[in-house]
Amino acid sequence: MILPKLTASLIIATLALTGVTYWRASAREAAALAAHPPTGSFLTIDGLRLHFEISGSGPDIVLIHGASGSLRDMTFALRDRLTARYRVTVVDRPGLGHSDRVSEVSLAAQARAIKAGLAGIGVTDPILVGQSYGGAVALAWALDGGPRALVLVGAASMPWPGKLDPWYRLTSTAVGRALAVPLASAFVPQSYVSAATAAVFAPDPVPLGYEDWLGTPLILRRDTLATNTAQINALRAELVTMEPRYPGLSLPVELVHGSADTIVPLAIHSRPLAGLLPNATLTVIDGAGHMPHHTHSDVVIDAIDRAALR
């Protein structure tokens, strides 16, 4: 009798935890959307809705955000410093922010969707500014043709040694995602998110008001977490296939990278990439971390201006 009772108790406990997890995750997602609704407009390409903002006048610039975030990362401070002399478009990458996800999570699929969508609103020959994972999307776009120039800020660009951190290893399988993503969405506290944000900026401080502006609860939505983990887990294999093609990119490329970046290390990514690209300039910011578009924005804006002139 003991075993059947224990089994029944475990089933009841599992169902209860599943129900609480679903309820709490749903409630947190509703609150996140209410607090941080779409700020821009939507365009539709092949049934995919992309959320974007466009402002300013002048040559076209497209700002592509990194992993986990949304266009709000680019509109916190950088975008408004460019609109006096550029027409600036910011977009939520597919599956993040308020954009629909594409059936394929690859860099190339994201680049094609953004490129085709923005072409429909007249943005056809832009300078691409990509930060972190967004820099990899910009490189995939360039390999397919189209941009006038690239500005890559702390960009993931080369295959790296070793493995991803435990969260991504856990969510690299369908079973892992099914178990871990709902639990994280429901129960990860804001203090953990704040600590993770501080680690991404380190050794630089997180700008005052950044977390509130970014809308970090949007990152914890189940679909967003699942999309982001799938994109990151696929990234290294994609960079392996892209690396041999880099020497064929003749367009101007400005690389900006912090010497103290531990998220996307300079020595693994931008420094060797600069040696592969025939028309690249590398600017290293001594002591800067992974987010120089916030912490050293003057350097990034100078690189954008150089790309425009080149």
Half-sphere exposure for 254 (CA within 13 Å, toward CB): 23
| Tens-place pLDDT, residues 74-117 | 999 999 999 999 999 999 999 999 999 988 889 999 999 999 99
For the chain, the average pLDDT equals 93
| Tens-place pLDDT, residues 194-210 | 999 999 999 999 999 99
> How many angstroms separate the CA atoms of 25 and 174, rounded?
19
With a cut of 60, say whether residue 141 has pLDDT above it: yes
Record the pTM.
Answer: 0.93
With a cut of 80, say whether residue 17 has pLDDT above it: no
> What is the predicted pLDDT for the residue at 291?
98
Q: Which CATH class is domain 35-309?
A: alpha beta
| Tens-place pLDDT, residues 153-186 | 999 999 999 999 899 999 998 888 899 999 999 9
Q: Is 108 exposed, middle or buried (0-12, 13-18, 19+ CB in 10 A)?
A: middle
With a cut of 50, say whether residue 6 has pLDDT above it: no
> What is the predicted pLDDT for the residue at 4?
53
Paired sense of beta strands 253-258 and 149-153, if any: parallel
**Rounded mean pLDDT, 237-244:** 98
> How many angstroms separate the CA atoms of 45 and 121, rounded?
11
- Could you tell me if 248 and 263 are in contact, meaning their C-beta atoms sit under 8 angstroms apart? no
> What is the predicted pLDDT for the residue at 14?
46
| Tens-place pLDDT, residues 282-304 | 999 999 999 999 999 999 999 99
Which two three-digit tokens encode residue 146? 């189209």
